[in-house]
Amino acid sequence: MTPTMLLYTAYDISSIAIRLVMLCYIPQKHAPSAATAWLLAIYFWPWPGFLLYLMFGSASLPEKRVERHEKMLRSLEDGRRSFRCLFDDEAHWLPEELVRFGALGRKLGDMCITRGNEFLLIDSEEEFIRALSADIDRAGSTVHLLYYIFARDSVTEPLFRSLEAAAARGVECRILVDALGAKRFLKRDAKPLRSMGVRVEKALPPRLFRRTPTTARYDLRNHRKIAVIDGRVGYTGSHNVIEAAYGGKAGGLEWKDLTLRLSGPVVLQLQGVFMEDWFVETGEMPRSGEIFPAPELAGEAVVQTVPSGPSYPWQNYQRLVVSALHGAKKWVVITTPYLIPDDELLHALETAVLGGVRVQLVIPEKSDQFLVGNAAKAYFDVLLDAGIEIYLFQGGIIHSKTMTVDHSLAFLGTSNFDIRSFALNFELNLVLYGKDETRAVRNAQHSYITASRRLTRESWGDRPRAVRVVHGITKLFSPLL
């Protein structure tokens, strides 16, 4: 037998072995949909599929990261009410169904409903950078930033100058960025900031095959966007620190984002989430008295912080979204750049429509990601058949992640409505309770719908057969995207 024949034989035998072993192993570790997708990939491409599974197959975190997270919570036990359980005993002034919903949010994310907040909804990158820079210019003690994408460009330059000035006058500036999303910043612009006294650290440094005590699988990402100044002013939403075209990521189209500038007790919850991530990545635990000032009432808004990610036993945001859909009575509007619903979300959407709820879904006409965009479109048939209204946004890439339910409940944050955001990414979302709070988000959603074209069942049915095939194939891998 020639060496070539030996190689072919060894490959065939090993491929069969991989298929058999993975057939026994994968169904025990994953939900049926994800297990089926992985097994399909391994069946057709045994070795490539096996190697991909080694890199991306496990969503579990290394023990060291879990231990650090638990240690952080224990260390703050005496002061946990300063950012976790503010005014929880006063939530009785909400309608009964919202009190129950708030209790679910607290159970999942361990943070309660807070009242006495004030917020400003920001819808442009320039305004976001301008407001954040001005708050940093007024900072007296601490500036904490956590962002997935962080870049120094013509739009964000004022923010960098404000950070440098704050550090120069003795303000403790901490920046935590995702190691993959902010890769270019870490290589090019982090060192000058560090030289000015700004602490810069990276979250979830990726490793392809080798896991260290604190690094997880390659594509587990920290997708949160948080800014907290002096523990008094906070920002969160979908804006990253980068100009609106995201460096030409989507062919020069501008990304449309929403961020909330907040003051009031809820800011301490944002601070708590930041400090948990900071400690997990660095092992550094600043004294809580310096970073968690006594809460102050700033307005009338009722807000709850809901962090989510692999460190929690449940898919926190997915559970809240599904629960809200089941409780909807008249109207639901969702905006998201990426829509890959799992079975529970899909069934909740269908059930809402069957119960007489009008469901409107706004997504970009063009996606910046080929696989994710086509996998999302594979669900259009079932969504349209269910009676869900689909609007394709024409004014760029809609990147705002929002949901409003009737006139009393709104969601805004960093999580897309896809399996990746629900199960794999570290995300942060806010729940806003009340008519005034919901109206602000609903107005922004209405502007998106106005700038969109509604997709009809007839026009969607006219798409070419080749396009249908692409949608169908990418849909098979949607549990892995």
Return the active site residues.
223, 225, 230, 399, 401, 406
Determine the Cα–Cα distance for residues 272 and 305; give it in Å rounded to an integer. 10
CA distances for 397 relative to 358, 442, 448, angstroms = 24, 19, 11
Residue whose tokens read 């929880």: 88
331-335 vs 142-147, strand pairing mode = unpaired
Tokens of residue 20, six digits: 């058999």
Phi, psi torsion values for 338, nearest 5 degrees? -130, 125
CA 374 remoteness from chain centre: 20
Residue whose tokens read 């169908």: 472
Determine the Cα–Cα distance for residues 201 and 215; give it in Å rounded to an integer. 14
Q: Quick count: other Cβ atoms within 10 Å of Cβ 220?
A: 25
Determine the Cα–Cα distance for residues 303 and 410; give it in Å rounded to an integer. 10
36 DSSP 8-state letter = H
Provide the Cα torsion 263, 264, 265, 269; round to 10°.
Answer: -10
Determine the Cα–Cα distance for residues 447 and 156; give it in Å rounded to an integer. 26
Residue whose tokens read 């026994």: 24
Determine the Cα–Cα distance for residues 327 and 406; give it in Å rounded to an integer. 10
Determine the Cα–Cα distance for residues 244 and 228; give it in Å rounded to an integer. 22
Kindly give, in sequence order, each residue whose CB lies less than 8 Å from that of residue 107, ignoring residues fewer than 6 positions away: none
| Among 388, 370, 368, CA closest to 325 | 388
| Among 17, 18, 36, 15, CA closest to 27 | 36
Determine the Cα–Cα distance for residues 211 and 61; give it in Å rounded to an integer. 10
| Among 197, 164, 186, 272, CA closest to 228 | 272
Determine the Cα–Cα distance for residues 166 and 327; give it in Å rounded to an integer. 46
Kindly give, in sequence order, each residue whose CB lies less than 8 Å from that of residue 376, ignoring residues fewer than 6 positions away: 338, 339, 340, 363, 367, 418
> Could you tell me how many residues make up the chain?
481
190 DSSP 8-state letter = H
CA distances for 37 relative to 44, 473, 474, angstroms = 11, 11, 10
Residue 378 region by backbone torsions, left for phi larger than 0, else alpha for psi between -120 and 50, else beta: alpha
